[in-house]
Amino acid sequence: MTLDWFWPEGFYASMMILAFALGAFALKLPIAVAMSGGAVLGAILAGEGIPVRHLVEGMFGYIDTILIIATAMIFMKTVQAIGLMESIAAWGIRRFRNYPVLLSIGVTLLIMFPGMLTGSSTACCLTTGALVAPVLMHLGVPRVKTGALIAIAALLGMIAPPINIPVMIIGGGIDMPYVGFAVPLLAATMPLAVFAALLLAWPSLRRREGQNDEALEKELARMSSVPLTWRLCTPFAVLVVLMAGEQFMPQYFPFLGMPLQFLIASASAVFTGRRWNVLASATEAIDDALPVLGILMGVGMFIQVMTLNGVRGFVVISALSIPEWALYLSIAVSIPAFGAISSFGAASVLGVPFMFALLAKDQIITATALALIASLGDLVPPTALAGIFAGQVVGEKNYFKILKVCVVPAVAIALWGIAFIAYAGPLASWLRWV
């Protein structure tokens, strides 16, 4: 069956996406505002006027995710303010400096860490990415390869557990709870992290060419100005105890929810590390998180109106009509391409329909793979958030040089995601056995 995009629903979909793209690129509006504009136009064209109730309902569709991201950002700014992140980085670099394989993998995981807690690639680039960039360059890693490693690690960080926003968006679109994703997300991201580390950082660290020992020691001394002690690690310890206790010993730990867990762990930092301004750190965290939170509100409105005017069902039927071989190619190409506007938008507008088309496969593995592929949108121009911010932290004005180095790892990410979908059943069985 051939579907006609001149059907009313196809016309609505085209106009919504066009309005979204024009707002984001031509008018330079924030992504959230552009998405809300596309949602309003889709409702007007369908004869629904301006459906305030649906817009508000969609805006708060991801309120749980929004609270998690906001409080996770407060936690990250807190551990950064007390000096914990710098001390851990300095200790690890000194400890594994003569073991280039372990050092390259460890630095990659450190860059990923903020994204694992916030679900944002930008958080990785601007926190741990900015922290380790000068160290890597002092160790002899070229500027462009340092930026590429930060960009790829940022993508993998936003996909790694415990927080994965694209999976939450896809799950919300098909009424699938965010449960049971930890192991599949680790299987999807950690092999790629090791591959990126060995490809981009290890060769330079192994050859020890271009190392500036004097500058490196000054940088490490600055980073370790706060001694790494067990007391300094209190916020991490509190967070791990709260999360693990709720997961494995629910009879002894009340259900607090992740937002409250992050706030309690942040509050424990008052008694550790160097002095810091609590209000200033919290304000800075919310300021940094606002673009991501706004995008989630825009995505919610967009999906709500797509459901209202029938576009969502039309896109699902269109996806179901594609042959399986072409479906895989469409996933690998269209989701990252749409992610040039917003990787979260790609997860909602395209990830959800593709998920419906793949319901015969294991849902957890499939959603994991779609989220992994959606992350590539942060490398696609003109937005290319991961590439642009990675270029900023390493001092490379032409971020296309960084994107060029990212091509091989990006292709590996896409192929790894498609392999997860193609072998979802056997992979799910193996992971359950593990």
**Helices 130-138 and 213-223, packing angle to 10 deg:** 150
DSSP 347: I
What are the pLDDT digits (tens) for 373-428?
999 999 988 778 888 889 989 988 888 999 999 999 999 999 999 999 999 999 99
Cis peptide before 162 (omega within 30 of 0): yes
Q: Rounded CA gap, 338 and 355, in Å?
A: 16
Locate the domains of the chain by residue range: 8-232+272-433
Q: What is the pLDDT of residue 1?
A: 37
Task: Give the dihedral of Cα atoms 275, 116, 107, 123; nearest 10 deg.
Answer: -60
Hunting for tokens 């509100």 — which residue is that?
297
Q: What is the pLDDT of residue 3?
A: 46
Cis peptide before 382 (omega within 30 of 0): yes
Q: Rounded CA gap, 51 and 63, in Å?
A: 20
DSSP 392: H
| Other CB atoms within 10 A of residue 142 CB | 16
**Helices 363-374 and 424-433, packing angle to 10 deg:** 110
Residue 385 amino acid letter: L
What are the pLDDT digits (tens) for 213-272?
788 888 888 888 888 888 899 999 999 898 888 877 878 888 888 899 999 999 999 888
∠107-371-261 over CA atoms, to 5°?
A: 65
Q: Rounded CA gap, 265 and 276, in Å?
A: 15
What residues contact 235, with CB distance under 8 A and at least 6 apart? Answer: 75, 78, 79, 82, 84, 265, 266, 268, 269, 272
Q: Rounded CA gap, 166 and 345, in Å?
A: 9
**Whole-angstrom distance between the N-terminal and C-terminal Cα of the chain?**
42
**Helices 84-96 and 130-138, packing angle to 10 deg:** 30
Cα–Cα nearest to 343, from 366, 373, 313: 373
∠387-392-394 over CA atoms, to 5°?
A: 95
Cβ(308)–Cβ(43) below 8 Å: yes
Task: Give the dihedral of Cα atoms 7, 34, 290, 256; nearest 10 deg.
Answer: -20
Kindly tell me the burial class for residue 253, based on how many C-beta atoms sit within 10 Å of its own C-beta (0-12, 13-18, 19 or more): middle
Cβ(170)–Cβ(352) below 8 Å: yes
DSSP 2: P
CA 392 to mean position of chain CA atoms? 19
Q: What is the pLDDT of residue 126?
A: 83
**Helices 165-173 and 363-374, packing angle to 10 deg:** 130
What are the pLDDT digits (tens) for 35-51?
899 999 999 998 889 99
Residue length of the chain: 434
Q: Rounded CA gap, 390 and 299, in Å?
A: 25
What residues contact 80, with CB distance under 8 A and at least 6 apart? Answer: 86, 127
What are the pLDDT digits (tens) for 333-374?
989 987 776 788 788 778 888 888 888 899 999 999 999 999
**Average of pLDDT values for 100-113?**
94
Percent of the residues in the chain that have a pLDDT greater than 70, as a whole number: 97
Cα–Cα nearest to 128, from 85, 75, 73: 85
Q: What is the pLDDT of residue 409?
A: 96
Q: Rounded CA gap, 348 and 405, in Å?
A: 28
- 3-class DSSP assignment, residue 288: helix
* Assigned token pair, 138: 């002092």
What are the pLDDT digits (tens) for 69-102?
889 889 988 988 998 888 988 898 888 888 999 9
Residue 119 amino acid letter: G
What are the pLDDT digits (tens) for 259-305?
999 999 999 998 887 888 889 999 998 998 888 788 888 888 888 89
DSSP 125: I
